[in-house]
Structures are given as structure tokens and as C-alpha cells.
């Protein structure tokens, strides 16, 4: 049992290659002296781990991903929760939620909350959910059952694809929320009203782990077929990353311009994007590297000439906040080209430390790509300016200091 109180952190899945920003935050809180206990709603599916995951020593509790997978464990959780005075208020909350969202997901989250409330580690003093959709639902129910206070880190998809009624009720119950973009903060602050519970906190990087390279960028300019300009994109193959737009843009580049693209990431749409590349005659110029750990990704940042990510807002509202890979690439003096949505302009100012184009515009994206490919001097200027901005404004210590103050105000102590 921790005399200073255990911080129980709820995660949708752990560990995940695509969520380095969460892993870095967990390590930062661990280094700040908090006693952490991680709770994951899902078992890991990635075959690789980042080095940062091996540095996190907190124990991990995996809840039943589906209630029917562990019926006896769920039954014990419900039975033990039923004996707590908070069970009935939590059950009434479930009833109100289910009336507006008649899905199995609601029942599943309540069952997971019962298991969590029954299996809380000794000394548990606070619940903190990463993502304001499903993990926060589990935290909300478990908080009522157990009587523990709770808070949330909200990001992007979870904010914009969760109904406002759900966000508003959670914001009224939790003690505070932090989020990583100005647009997300404005939305949550508006729903929270005068309580002032929403805080803006960019994730930032561990700048020791992401120290800029000694070497400067190459002089490749797309004129030498034996020495093409190396483009890099890192992201899951999902619609909001805009890889269909990127492939369309690459197809529009002059045939005499010599480049190669490396893509790092897995995802459900990967085969579809490979098929699109093949149909456009681009396959010979693209290396699909699949999911990679942070060490391998860092090496590719340092070997590449430019980074591109064609973020978009999908029809259901899903979007990126500020993709961590843009901050990582910028830290390596790699010039970035992206779209002017969500939190991207909070890092990149077009023409100053990166290039920005409208989303869903392959013509504009192609023109910007051609500029970067042809002009190594532009790449060097943008890359150095981007690195300077990361060092000034995206050091992860600032976000850890804010979280430390918030958790201490909630009664948690550090070693």
C-alpha cells in the first residue's frame, strides 16, 4: 500500500505503438514520484514495444475486454460493487446513459467499472482516464461506485465523436480535464461552463530522447534518379490520416521529379492504400515499413528529407489533435508538410517553420511537395525553425508540471 496514495490511470489499450504521447506522460509522472497503477480496457495487439514502455514500471491490470470472456470475474465484481453505497447511483447513471445510447458498449463499460471498483489496488486515491469517451465512461461509473475522485486527459477523436450531452455530464462530474489543442480546449471549456475545469496542455517531447541530430539535411533536389529525395510519413492507415489524398498528390508530381516515400504504421486501411498506390503506378517508389518502434522511427526521421501528413476531418467528426509525429519530426530538423486543421497550426506556421495546405486538396499538397523536393535550402530553413519551436514550446516537462500540480491539489503526494 502506498502511503502517498496510488494514482490509477485508465487506458483504452496498453501498450500501444501509436500512443507514445501517453507513454511519455506516464513515464514523466513516474519520474515525478507518483505511485502509478495502470488499468487497460484492452490487451495489447501490437507485436512491438517502444523503449519508453520498458522504462514504465507501474503494474498493469487488464479488465475483461468483453464481459462474456470472464463471466465469473464480472459476477464477482458486480457482487462486491453491489455492497457499496455508490453502486445504485452508478446504476441509475447507467440507466440514463443507456436511454440515450442503447448500445452494448454502455453495459460493457459498467461491467468493467464494477470489476475495477472490486479490484482497485490498496491505497488507490484517484482515477485518471486517458480519453474522454470509453475510458472516461468506465472512470465515471467506477468513481460513483468507489467514491474516488477522477479526472481525464482528452485528446482528439474522443472529443469530437462523443455527443455533447455525454461530454457535458462527464465534465460536470470530474474534477478537471486536460486537453492538448486550443480547439479541443475551447470546445470542452464551453461545455464545462464557468467551473473552469478545462486546462490546455500540449504533450511535448522528452528532448533528451529526441535530441536533434548533428548532421544537416541533404542537398538532394529531385534531379538525380540515383539519389531521390526521401519523403517520410508516420501514421496509422486510417481515413483521418489522409493517405488517399497523399497518394493522389504524389501521382500529380512531375514524372521527371525523383523521390521516394517511406510509410511507417499499421492500420486497417493499409492494404487499400497499397492497392491505390499500385493503381496509380506509384508502388515502385513507396516503401511500406509497417509498425515500428520508436528507435526505428527516430532513425528514419534522421535519414529523411521531408515529412508529410495529410490530416483531415472525417464525416463522423474524427480527426487528429496535434499529431505527435509532427512534433517528433520537427525536433529532428525535418521539415514538415501538413494540413491546417485542429492543433497542427499550433506547431506549424506556414512558410515559417513548415508548410500547411488545406485538407482534402491533393493539388495544393502536390505543389507544396514539389517545393520541398526541389529546394533543399527551404527544407533546411523550415527544419531548423521547427526544431527551435519544439525546444521552446514543446518540452514535455511543462505538461508534467501542470499535471503534477493538478494531482497534488487532488491530494496525491509524490515520493
pLDDT one-digit tens code per residue, 321-339: 999 999 999 999 999 999 9
* Mean pLDDT calculated for residue range 37-50: 93
- Domain pair 6-204+395-409 / 229-393, same fold: yes
**pLDDT number for residue 194:** 83
Q: Which fold has domain 6-204+395-409?
A: Rossmann fold (3.40.50)
Question: Band of the pLDDT at 47, cuts 50, 70, 90?
Answer: confident
Dihedral of the CA atoms 182, 184, 187, 191 (nearest 10)?
A: -120
- What is the assigned CATH class of domain 229-393? alpha beta
188/35 Cα distance (integer angstroms): 28
Asked if 232 and 264 count as a contact pair (C-beta separation under 8 A), the reply is yes
Q: Which candidate, 145, 167, 8, places its Cα nearest to that of 77?
A: 145
- Is residue 359 scored above 80 in pLDDT? yes
The dihedral sign for the CA sequence 369, 375, 379, 381: negative
* Mean pLDDT calculated for residue range 210-215: 88
How many other CB atoms sit within 10 Å of the CB of residue 209? 19
**pLDDT number for residue 4:** 72
> How confident is the model over 371-398, as pLDDT tens digits?
999 999 999 999 999 999 999 999 999 9
> How confident is the model over 176-189, as pLDDT tens digits?
999 999 999 999 99
Q: Which residues, 6+ apart, have CB-to-CB distance to 322 below 8 Å? A: 180, 181, 202, 203, 342, 343, 344, 346, 347
> How confident is the model over 85-139, as pLDDT tens digits?
999 999 999 999 999 999 999 999 999 999 999 999 999 999 999 999 999 999 9
- Domain ranges within the chain, ordered by starting residue: 6-204+395-409, 229-393
* Mean pLDDT calculated for residue range 59-85: 97
**pLDDT number for residue 89:** 96
- Is residue 192 scored above 60 in pLDDT? yes
- Is residue 342 scored above 80 in pLDDT? yes
* Mean pLDDT calculated for residue range 37-49: 94
230/366 Cα distance (integer angstroms): 15
Q: Which candidate, 182, 191, 175, places its Cα nearest to that of 405?
A: 175
Question: Band of the pLDDT at 58, cuts 50, 70, 90?
Answer: very high
**pLDDT number for residue 1:** 53
132/73 Cα distance (integer angstroms): 26
Q: Which candidate, 210, 200, 213, 211, places its Cα nearest to that of 398?
A: 200
Question: Band of the pLDDT at 3, cuts 50, 70, 90?
Answer: low
Amino acid at each position: 500500500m502506498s502511503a502517498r496514495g496510488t494514482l490509477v490511470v485508465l487506458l483504452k489499450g496498453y501498450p500501444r505503438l501509436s500512443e507514445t504521447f501517453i507513454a511519455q506522460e506516464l513515464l514523466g509522472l513516474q519520474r515525478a514520484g507518483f505511485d502509478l497503477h495502470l488499468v487497460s480496457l484492452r490487451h495489447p495487439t501490437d507485436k512491438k514495444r517502444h523503449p519508453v514502455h520498458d522504462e514504465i514500471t507501474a503494474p498493469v491490470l487488464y479488465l475483461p475486454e468483453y464481459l462474456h470472456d470472464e463471466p465469473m470475474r464480472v459476477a464477482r465484481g458486480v457482487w462486491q460493487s453491489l455492497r457499496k453505497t455508490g453502486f445504485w447511483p452508478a446504476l441509475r447513471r447507467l440507466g440514463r446513459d443507456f436511454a440515450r445510447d442503447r448500445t452494448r458498449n454502455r453495459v460493457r463499460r459498467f461491467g468493467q467499472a464494477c470489476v475495477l471498483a472490486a479490484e482497485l489496488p490498496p491505497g488507490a486515491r484517484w482515477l485518471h482516464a486517458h480519453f474522454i469517451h470509453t475510458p472516461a465512461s468506465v472512470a465515471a461509473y467506477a468513481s460513483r461506485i468507489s467514491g474516488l475522485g477522477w479526472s481525464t486527459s482528452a485528446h482528439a477523436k474522443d472529443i469530437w465523436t462523443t455527443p455533447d450531452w455525454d461530454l457535458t455530464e462527464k465534465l460536470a462530474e470530474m474534477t478537471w480535464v486536460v486537453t492538448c489543442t486550443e480547439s479541443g480546449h475551447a470546445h470542452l471549456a464551453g461545455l464545462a461552463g464557468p467551473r473552469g475545469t478545462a486546462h490546455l496542455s500540449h504533450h511535448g517531447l522528452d528532448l533528451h530522447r529526441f535530441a536533434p541530430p548533428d548532421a544537416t539535411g541533404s542537398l538532394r533536389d529531385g534531379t538525380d534518379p540515383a539519389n531521390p529525395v526521401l519523403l517520410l510519413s508516420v501514421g496509422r492507415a486510417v481515413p483521418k490520416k489522409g493517405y488517399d489524398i497523399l497518394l493522389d498528390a504524389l501521382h500529380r508530381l512531375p514524372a521527371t521529379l525523383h523521390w521516394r516515400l517511406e510509410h511507417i504504421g499499421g492500420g486497417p486501411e493499409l492494404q487499400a492504400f497499397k492497392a491505390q498506390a499500385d493503381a496509380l503506378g506509384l508502388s515502385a517508389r513507396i516503401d511500406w515499413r509497417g509498425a515500428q518502434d520508436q528507435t526505428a522511427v527516430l532513425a528514419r526521421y534522421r535519414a529523411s528529407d521531408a515529412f508529410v501528413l495529410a490530416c483531415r476531418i472525417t464525416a463522423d467528426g474524427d480527426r487528429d489533435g496535434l499529431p505527435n509525429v509532427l512534433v517528433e519530426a520537427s525536433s529532428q530538423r525535418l521539415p514538415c508538410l501538413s494540413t491546417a486543421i485542429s492543433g497542427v497550426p499550433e506547431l506549424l506556421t506556414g512558410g515559417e517553420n513548415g508548410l500547411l495546405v488545406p485538407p482534402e486538396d491533393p493539388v495544393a499538397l502536390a505543389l507544396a511537395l514539389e517545393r520541398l523536393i526541389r529546394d533543399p535550402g527551404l527544407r533546411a530553413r523550415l527544419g531548423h525553425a521547427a526544431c527551435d519551436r519544439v525546444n521552446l514550446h514543446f518540452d514535455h516537462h511543462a505538461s508534467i508540471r501542470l499535471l503534477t500540480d493538478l494531482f497534488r491539489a487532488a491530494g496525491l503526494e509524490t515520493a
